[in-house]
Amino acid sequence: MKPGISTLTLTLTLTLTLTLTLTLTLTLDSLALLYNYPNTICAYINEQIINGITTKIPLKDGEIVSIDCGVKMKNYYGEHAYTF
């Protein structure tokens, strides 16, 4: 994760990548349908612990960032979270 990138940029990049590889987002699209969640990923910054909505705010050097995303591909459902 590079300082200066925003979590909104991350969600747009992931959405494009998933679309181009014919992978359909599942988990957070389901959240969008149920709760009007606006993005493809959840991004947690520092001490935030659940369902962080991505923003245009640039990340700062040293911040802890966790990304959570779910996907569906060929009837396989998976979810993964990773902390940077």
Higher pLDDT residue, 75 or 68? Answer: 68
**79: phi > 0 → left, psi -120 to 50 → alpha, else beta; which?**
beta
Overall pTM > 0.75 = no
Is residue 2 domain-resident?
no
Among all chains, which residue has been given the structure tokens 């957070």?
28
Is residue 43 domain-resident?
yes
Range of the domain at 55: 7-83
Is residue 54 domain-resident?
yes
The whole-number pLDDT of residue 2 equals: 76
Is residue 36 domain-resident?
yes
Q: Mean pLDDT across the stretch 30-52?
A: 73
Number of domains in the chain: 1
Is residue 1 domain-resident?
no
